[in-house]
A and B are shown apart, each in its own frame.
Chain A
């Protein structure tokens, strides 16, 4: 595949606060790439740099081999779908979508069929004369996408485009966006803080934190082989415990030595061990590799979410079998359910469920949406 956009050693600070710290990123033609991270991780700034709304303090941005640091946004073959849609309130749906063609002084004979085609692509056939102020959020979003795609850009930037939609609509739009991307073959650069969205839509996920890229990879790689405690925690649920690598394929944590599938670490190296909640089997105390006391059980529909205290460290386990609070249970972990990571600056900060509560989770989600 052809390399389309290249960010080289890009740094950016606002009012002395570093937002992007020496970022390197290659984006290939026709890719659906997602920048994923919590608020303030620099993902939106990265997008704005590519879009031409910000210029880097240092480093270079290349588009198709050309350095574009100083090329203004109106000269870039890159269009954007903004977080709050930014439809032009004084223009109707047709004129909003036709905006870039009108600027290019195209005749109505060319504009009309192209607008029609775009509105069909985003499933808004027959909406031409509607006032954009009266459309629902989902419809406004579709207009914004049609408006950005009509001039056939090489790249489409999407800044949390589904953030303001309700869950059901969001799922539908995710599928639709993926479909549109396949159909048009345009490179999509998508920004979100929603890990599920990122995993389900993208070809490549870029996990960011603190202005740096933590990991780049396919969704399955990111989920199964997180590089550090931050990625493991941010993508899905994870139990992250301190461990010691005894030798290749042997790791000790929580007082038990397990067989694992990882190798290449120094003997006795301190490591972070990740175990996904769905990969832990609940067994009787006698059969268990680890034993612990259940401190809380929450019914989640498909499974129960069980918090287990193992030697003072709280584990989260997802199981379809019901267990009671205060019950003593055994845990069984398969070798390939254990993932070993090198120690990083994020070690010890994540992956303990002692202070876990759904409410807290929702609160932090809400604040991320605000941003």
Chain B
């Protein structure tokens, strides 16, 4: 039985990860032939970095991901804290559902609807280039926001109300009580929300495809356009780099989350000990 369980688990992971393994492997292929592996080399990586359009796309992607995740983290944290302050349960539930819509909506619907809006507003105020950095940025903030809220809200719920009261009791104004006491307590949620937003923005294709203009290409869009001509292994190299980046961020996010959790567990274990 134990062996069966192990085999089953192995199979699941094998099927899940074999495409990625193959992709990574072929990115190190010394020949351009997709069919056969002739030897290991970094040729395609060199090739990739020799292309100026890759650099521009990389720079664009990072700028976009950074600004989108910073802004959505600020807005999302404010929203999560604000939603926690609603007294009326029905209103709170409604606001939460509304903020979750961009997460539930199919990307393609979000993408098309935002494109439509941007083009409409753009023509109303008479812009020549209606789509570009600003529109894709707004779009990315929109779909990152609910994930930040989702990640910060449990922290806000777990806040001991006495914490901010204790801070005010000791001389903090309500605002400084928030920054000195509440913010540090919800920080793990904010960090993991930020990393999640960054990751999502980094690898988004569908929404970016609809909301960006000709002069602002991101890596996923570049990969897509490269496949249109001819599939060369430098795409594999680029994809491998993106996988690595996302993987590192995910691990960081988990570490941030579990660090905070550990602290909490210890506290509640202590509390249980005391009462028991």
Measuring CB to CB, which residues of chain A are less than 8 angstroms from any residue of chain B? 51-53, 72-74, 78-80, 82-84, 86-90, 99-100, 103-104, 133-137, 147-148, 151, 164-166
**How far, in whole Å, are A166 and B163 apart by their CA atoms in the complex?**
24
**A80/B267 contact (C-beta < 8 A), A88-B181, A164-B274 known:** no
Chain B residues within 8 Å of A89, by CB: 185, 263, 267
Q: How many A-B residue pairs have CB under 8 A?
A: 76
Q: How far is the CA of A151 from the CA of B166 in the complex (A)?
A: 14
| B172 on the A face (CB < 8 A) | yes
Q: How far is the CA of A136 from the CA of B272 in the complex (A)?
A: 11
CB pair A164–B275 under 8 Å, yes or no, is yes
B215 at the interface (CB under 8 A from A): no
Task: Please name 20 further chain A to chain B contacts, defined as beta carbons within 8 Å, in addition to the given A74-B168, A74-B171, A99-B167, sorted by A numbering.
Answer: A72-B168, A72-B173, A74-B173, A78-B169, A79-B170, A80-B165, A82-B165, A82-B166, A88-B163, A89-B263, A90-B184, A103-B170, A104-B171, A133-B266, A133-B270, A134-B270, A136-B273, A137-B270, A137-B271, A148-B169
Q: Measured between alpha carbons, how far is A80 from B166 in the docked complex, in Å?
A: 7
A165 to B271, CA, bound (A): 10
In the bound complex, what is the Cα–Cα distance between A79 and B171 (angstroms)?
9
Measured CB to CB, the residues of B under 8 A from A are 160, 162-163, 165-173, 176, 181, 184-185, 187, 263, 266-267, 270-271, 273-275
Known contacts A74-B169, A74-B171: A133-B263 contact under CB 8 Å: yes
Contacts of B184 in A (CB 8 A): 88, 90
Q: Which residues of B contact A133 (CB under 8 A)?
A: 263, 266-267, 270
CA distance A151 to B171 in the complex (A): 10
Measured in the bound complex, the distance between the Cα atoms of B172 and A14 in whole Å is 26
Quick check: B185 and A74 within 8 Å, CB to CB? no
Most chain-B Cβ atoms within 10 A of its Cβ — which of A51, A72, A73, A84? A73
Cα–Cα, bound, A82→B169 (Å): 10
CA–CA, A88 and B187, complex, Å? 13
User: B162, A73: Cβ atoms under 8 Å?
Assistant: no
Contact at A103–B171, with CB atoms within 8 Å? yes
**Given A53-B165, A86-B160, A90-B184: A147 and B170 interface contact (C-beta under 8 Å):** yes
- Supposing A53-B165, A86-B166 touch, asked if A103 and B172 sit within 8 A by C-beta, the answer is yes
Chain B residues within 8 Å of A79, by CB: 169-170
Q: A72 to B172, alpha carbons, bound, how many Å?
A: 10
The minimal Cβ–Cβ distance linking A332 to chain B, given in whole angstroms, is: 44
Contact check: which of B166, B169, B274 meets A137 at CB < 8 Å? B274
